[in-house]
Structure 1
């Protein structure tokens, strides 16, 4: 299931990102999304990739080096809550893959008190037509509250400035991964 949501997310992001753009991966994790974003922006673009875990950043760097994409990526060992402290550039895309590091400790998770400021700051930096993608995982400890709060936040965004889409499976468990896409008009 998650593959469909991630595939859809990447399809939408690919349409919003051009070579030379600046984008952010707010949850570097094992580096898959960072690699995708680095490929989209090309050598002339820039990717900022955040994670609070050294292991995640090491995994990401290894993946980038395997594909010779590290030149356009800046890895940042910090919470995505500090996004606006690291850039004030217009962003074509901001990507979140919330929850915990696959293969890592399930005790280290994204938390709403960090994610919400990152979402808010990222939306402020999105350029017209820019897209924010949030993979939500309500099935883990703390995930349901984070998912529900972010969906409520997206519903409150002024439609004059943003379009928000909630992509989820109707005939699957309510714990199934969900996708939230927000585009700046």
Structure 2
């Protein structure tokens, strides 16, 4: 059975995590990915979840409380382009779910000028064999510009240092979501 893009991303991320790891949710949104990461890092791990909207962080916090996992997460009310100001540890997994907050103001969207620095900072923090997932939504206003810019960035990553997967349903209409998964190679091999 072919998995939907987000479902596939979540499975790859979970497979990359173990107890005690550090992970980042670069776009907390309603907290679904933050919750997944919090479960994956175990009691000894830590998740940093970023969002510019207080509503998103409150939604995330409430979701974490329902699962008694709020103690594993640091919620950060700033844009994902500021990741390295808050995270210094090497991380095993990073998730980005670009676009807008589902159920929120569709006028507030991620933008290429903050997305590119966030990805670049995330790649610096990613440990060997670490995985980054990038969910792209070209169908919303500005989404195609962001998607094209991110694709250009990842196509030019050094193949000795990174493996990049592009998971895309090419026969779906209306600009379906696209998934990019980046794995940092061990010792550049």
TM (normalized to structure 2)? Answer: 0.95
TM-superposed CA distance for 1:174, in Å, is 5.6
1:24-43 equivalent positions in 2, closer than 5 A: 24-43=24-43
Q: Aligned partners of 1:53, 1:114: CA distance in 2, in Å? A: 15
- Corresponding position of 1:172: 172
- Corresponding position of 1:145: 145
TM-superposed CA distance for 1:79, in Å, is 0.3
- Corresponding position of 2:117: 117
Q: Aligned partners of 1:170, 1:118: CA distance in 2, in Å? A: 27
C-alpha offsets along residues 12-32 of structure 1, whole Å, 9 cap, x if unaligned? 111111111000000000000
1:23-62 equivalent positions in 2, closer than 5 A: 23-62=23-62
TM-superposed CA distance for 1:88, in Å, is 1.3
- Corresponding position of 1:68: 68
- Corresponding position of 2:88: 88
What root-mean-square deviation, in Å, do the aligned CA atoms of Structure 1 and Structure 2 show? 0.8
Name the SS of the counterpart of 2:166 in structure 1: strand
Q: Which sections of structure 1, spanning at least 5 residues, go unmatched?
A: none
Q: Conserved in 1, the CA contact under 8 Å of 2:162 and 2:183?
A: yes
Q: Aligned partners of 1:119, 1:10: CA distance in 2, in Å? A: 18
Name the SS of the counterpart of 2:123 in structure 1: helix
- Corresponding position of 2:160: 160
TM-superposed CA distance for 1:42, in Å, is 1.0
C-alpha offsets along residues 36-58 of structure 1, whole Å, 9 cap, x if unaligned? 00000011100000000000000
Aligned residues: 183
Q: Aligned partners of 1:23, 1:88: CA distance in 2, in Å? A: 11
TM-superposed CA distance for 1:167, in Å, is 0.5
- Corresponding position of 1:107: 107
TM (normalized to structure 1)? Answer: 0.97
